[in-house]
Structure 1
Amino acid sequence: MEIDVRRLLFVLVWLCALPATATPRLGAIASAHPLATEAGFEVLAAGGNACDAAVAVSAALAVVEPVSSGIGGGGFYLIQRRGAEALFVDARETAPASATRDMYLGADGQPVRRKSLDGPLAAGIPGEPAALVHLTRRCGRLDLDRNLAPAIRLAAEGFEPDAFHLQMTAMRKSALAASPAAAVIFLDQGEPPKPGFRLVQKDLAAVLQRLARSGKAGFYDGQTARLIIDGVNAAGGAWTEADLRDYKAVERRPLRGRHRDTDILTAPPPSSGGVALITALNILEGYALNLRDAVTGKHLIIEAMRRAYRDRAEYLGDPDFVVMPIAQLLSKDYAAGLRAGIRPDRATPSAGLPGAPAAAEGTDTTHFSVVDTHGNVVSATLSVNIPFGSGFVPPGTGILLNDEMDDFSAKEGSPNTYGLVGNHANAIAPGKRPLSSMTPTILRRGDSVAVLGTPGGSRIISMVLLGTLTFAQGNDDPAAWVSTGRYHHQFLPDVVEYEPQGLGETDIAGLQRLGHSLKQVDRRYGNMQAIAWNTRSGAMQAASDPRRQGSAQVR
């Protein structure tokens, strides 16, 4: 029988694009890299739960996706355990004790752009190692040595980076080349590597082994800490032993909201994402979007984004440093007041609303979602900020340090690397955590649970909003949440950004008639990783964003 190869290939590609669906033996994992997803299932198969899998996935991503996260960075973990209160673990980086409000300003009083982006001065004290220890002890079933074993193996034996990694290496070549230790690891004879390059990270494997053996002290004290401090300070940074020793992952109370018949569990400050998400949903609750034409529906969503992002910039920061009117911002009555200012037939100029633009974050973050068969759920978003973070590796560690200090407002009213501005609530201060848009989220509508989140800098909130609306309108297919066309408004600049194919021609023309300024960005953005779980039947589906090459599986 003759086989139609083209038809067969089409069917195989179509099948690969479908979300994995099953009643699982172990659970479901969706992450940005197949090797990280495999690491999570390895510890589930060894008797671990979703918290153990989250540790394994995080550590593996630190090895195989250093573009986006790592143990030199930080992140947020939203955890819903069966029969227990939800947890939010804040592992955001902190400013070192030497940090000052004007540390990135030049003699003319203006920000010096590269100072907060490249090299050790751009780095905050890493939080992810503390989170891996905290999660293992707080809610895991296995020991840390078992949870970190897949990552240690990947670092020691190496792997072949994918095309995106190679592309980002070329883009960040100068920053990596400026750090001799980073250049040896990530460049090939001083040049961006070609396909077939094997990335081996022996020093990182040794650091992970010390963390596995000694817990928090294995990173924040002893040999690893000395290597980090010596390397940072020799290259122009100013860290102390106390900066590392005093770092703590902090448990905070997750935010809760409700949109029609959907319950929302999401990230509190220092994430701005949860507040902005719930504010926007509260505004939109006053409209029957399913009864509106497509253009009007998108217009109303954009106006809700505009107002939620305005509040993000005006009020939010590190809760240990800033008093914030959270109850007011989450109030349905407050949202009704914001809704009253929206015209269904005309865009609101952002200049007509009081407030400052928000500081933006780097887009090369990562997200993963985990659900185990015991009913435990983890939604986690991790970051080093821009690709490869600061590009700096302290010699002997293999640790790429973040450049999350750029997420602070270097100067009130002055734009950061993404052209956005913040205010005093997010000003630099010793020990402070910079504001973030990372929005790990868990939704529930009846028996249906959605676990989702994404990288994307300031666009994270709008992406999670669009995914949430898709779920809240009755769509239980995670492939729909991760693939929906994306558009974004963040108050200032006053423009609707949209990805290619994110808006149709009718949408574009209609929104322009309503007075919106539109701008298509150069590429599709985001990398959402999502899981759907039916609590009654036990069935799960997992989906990875088609814009990148993640791995979503049910086993």
Structure 2
Amino acid sequence: MLPTSSKLIKISLGLSVLIGISACSKTGISTESVAIPLSTPFSIPKQAAIASAHPLATQAGMDILNQGGNAFDAAIAVAASLGVVEPYSAGLGGGGFWLIHEAKANKSIFIDAREKAPSSAHANLYLKEDGSVNRDIAVNGALAAGIPGQAAAFVHLAEKYGQLPLKKTLAAAIQQANEGFPVYSHYQKLIGYRLEALKRYPTSASIFLNNKQQIPEMGALIKQPDLAWTLQQIADKGFDGFYKGESARRLVAGVQAANGIWTLDDLANYNIIERQPIEIEYKGHKVVSAPPPSSGGIAIAAMLNMLSQYELNTLNNADKTHLIVETMRRAYKDRAEFLGDPDFVDVPTAELISLERAKAYVTGIDMNKATNSLSLKGPKNIQEGFHTTHFSVLDKAGNRVSATLSINLPFGSAFTVANTGVVLNNEMDDFSAKPGEPNAYGLVGNAANAIAPNKRPLSSMSPSFVESNDAVALIGTPGGSRIITMVMLGILEHIDEKPVGDWVGRSRFHHQYLPDVIQHEPNTFSAAEINALESKGHKLKNIGREYGNMQAILWDKKTGAVTAASDPRAFGESQVSE
């Protein structure tokens, strides 16, 4: 067990709650909810809380709250700042998912700002003449980039839910881009993963590396004046400041000069989609999470539905781990087989999150023996890029945001468009470049997630809420395909009434159907637990490093206390208002 975060903070807040279940159609997900009466006086928050992956981003959000903004305004400020100070994880060149809750309407909404494939993209985009996949162009450079959704999300939130203009909410990010931020250890670590790729692109190297084209030293300032200019265009002109006009011309010219396929129409036609979240009930709690094109909500719902058939607290740790792994295995099998962009494929959401399916699945779980994943007879799995960012925001009115943002691999495609400061994503690699062929991780996808014009690639990003009469939890993390299992383990910690520091600090394990192995952080299991799991037929792999960067907030409505924590593995910070 990792130590509880030293950034734990207590405040007083409260919120109301619903219970519901979701069903899906080709165009989205509909939800019917039944209200649960509240029995607590703490339904009106007294303070606000923010947890994010960087202190500067957290402070930017708190400053907006202090200026009279709400949680949605603060979320814009946090996300914009993260795009500056975490250029390896998020930014204007990427997209993300925003799970928001409007307190006055008592309504949760999922804002899909995922990247879209360019209009001239096609299923064979990354295939060589011999039919094999060209991994390099699928991961590096302009051709790997989908049309970004981040700027559109800022505009959508500001115009529909916020109280302040973008000129205010983007001001901190613009200042940070102009004045620079000091290099920190996590920046150095993440840039190390993509150093050689960044060297290939002079614009990227000139911004993010030192003058010897190496990782900058601690404390060196990373200044991004071109990014400040682009952010200012959005602050001044809204949607047109990024997707039309001079910014769009610069972006398209830079992409096309580097063999990319963006057009001005691709940018001008980008659209945000509001979707109904996935909602299920688990042991008296409503779990609200991300619908397709995220696979997270469906997978979390499926796992929890299976676990609801057991009394977890009666099991020892090895048996509990075995059972949780068996539910992970089955949920990820369904993920690989059925999930994709719901605007392009029929996703059988209602069936996948039904208790009937869960009950049928658990009949095949043997508590004494690991299931062979191939015996489940599903397709092979896919895995996304492993670096993303997450933040959580709660304001004094009870509005809240759980947002997970990404450009896929660290520094995305490693390509920065000249004169814009925009680091492009490589989210096109989240598609199945060829059904039956592996992606950058040697894993295989299926036809439901094949490349198509204007389609959104499947994702594991899982911003979530957990609600009951007693508490509200906001939770999410980066981590590629491990996001789902991290969030699910965090939810279980919350339901066991563990403090928020335990959610973000607990040691983690993961199974994703294929490869058929339990991946885990160092020191997750004792020698006796490893022996017990291996005796059941499990294969274990210590991945040799910690992973994830969870940002969470817990609101205890019985006492009015709120705790907020940032993952101790990284550089984040949680704050509350005075």
Using the size of structure 1 for normalisation, the TM-score is: 0.96
| Preserved contact between residue 365 and residue 456 of structure 1 (Cα < 8 Å) | yes
| Preserved contact between residue 5 and residue 567 of structure 2 (Cα < 8 Å) | no
Q: What is the identity, as a one-letter code, of the residue corresponding to 1:549?
A: F
* Farther-moved stretch of structure 1 (178-187 vs 149-158): 178-187
Q: Name the structure 2 match of 1:218.
A: 241
| Preserved contact between residue 192 and residue 215 of structure 2 (Cα < 8 Å) | yes
Residues in 1 aligned to 2:385 and 2:550: alpha-carbon distance in whole angstroms: 16
Question: Cα–Cα, structure 1 residues 18 and 236, in superposed 2: closer, same or farther, change >3 Å?
Answer: closer
Aligned with 1:17: secondary structure?
coil
CA drift at 1:315: 0.3
Alignment of 1:11-160 (within 5 A): 17=6, 19-23=8-12, 26-84=47-105, 85-160=107-182
Aligned with 2:49: secondary structure?
strand
| Preserved contact between residue 4 and residue 505 of structure 2 (Cα < 8 Å) | no
CA drift at 1:263: 0.7
| Preserved contact between residue 369 and residue 451 of structure 1 (Cα < 8 Å) | yes
CA drift at 1:135: 0.7
Q: Name the structure 2 match of 1:292.
A: 315
CA drift at 1:195: 1.6
User: Which runs of at least 4 in structure 1 moved beyond 4 Å after TM superposition?
Assistant: none
Residues in 1 aligned to 2:6 and 2:330: alpha-carbon distance in whole angstroms: 35
Q: Name the structure 2 match of 1:5.
A: none
**Could you give the per-residue CA deviations for residues 142-162 of structure 1, whole angstroms, max 9, x where no partner exists?**
111111011011001111021
* Farther-moved stretch of structure 1 (374-383 vs 77-86): 77-86
Alignment of 1:113-262 (within 5 A): 113-189=135-211, 190-262=213-285
**Could you give the per-residue CA deviations for residues 212-234 of structure 1, whole angstroms, max 9, x where no partner exists?**
00000000000100000000000
Q: Name the structure 2 match of 1:6.
A: none
Residues in 2 aligned to 1:529 and 1:39: alpha-carbon distance in whole angstroms: 16
Q: What is the identity, as a one-letter code, of the residue corresponding to 2:262?
A: W
Q: Name the structure 2 match of 1:507.
A: 529
CA drift at 1:536: 5.0
Residues in 1 aligned to 2:551 and 2:442: alpha-carbon distance in whole angstroms: 27
Aligned with 1:86: secondary structure?
strand
CA drift at 1:351: 1.1
Q: Name the structure 2 match of 1:367.
A: 390
Using the size of structure 2 for normalisation, the TM-score is: 0.92
Alignment: residue pair count:
542
Q: Name the structure 1 match of 2:509.
A: 487
* Farther-moved stretch of structure 1 (531-540 vs 148-157): 531-540
Identity of aligned residues (%): 50
Q: What is the identity, as a one-letter code, of the residue corresponding to 2:75?
A: A
Residues in 2 aligned to 1:420 and 1:552: alpha-carbon distance in whole angstroms: 36
* Farther-moved stretch of structure 1 (223-232 vs 506-515): 506-515
Q: What is the identity, as a one-letter code, of the residue corresponding to 1:399?
A: V
**Could you give the per-residue CA deviations for residues 428-483 of structure 1, whole angstroms, max 9, x where no partner exists?**
001000000000000013221110000000000010111111111222x1101111
Alignment of 1:412-491 (within 5 A): 412-475=435-498, 477-491=499-513
Residues in 2 aligned to 1:404 and 1:386: alpha-carbon distance in whole angstroms: 8
Q: What is the identity, as a one-letter code, of the residue corresponding to 2:9?
A: A
* Farther-moved stretch of structure 1 (218-227 vs 24-33): 24-33
How big is the alpha-carbon RMSD for the aligned residues of Structure 1 and Structure 2? 1.4
Residues in 1 aligned to 2:182 and 2:507: alpha-carbon distance in whole angstroms: 31
Residues in 2 aligned to 1:446 and 1:290: alpha-carbon distance in whole angstroms: 22
| Preserved contact between residue 486 and residue 503 of structure 1 (Cα < 8 Å) | no
Residue segments in structure 2 that go unaligned for 5+ positions in a row: 14-45
Residues in 1 aligned to 2:316 and 2:72: alpha-carbon distance in whole angstroms: 43
Residue segments in structure 1 that go unaligned for 5+ positions in a row: 1-13
Residues in 2 aligned to 1:326 and 1:109: alpha-carbon distance in whole angstroms: 33
* Farther-moved stretch of structure 1 (120-129 vs 502-511): 502-511
Aligned with 1:553: secondary structure?
strand
Q: Name the structure 1 match of 2:562.
A: 540
Residues in 1 aligned to 2:250 and 2:575: alpha-carbon distance in whole angstroms: 38
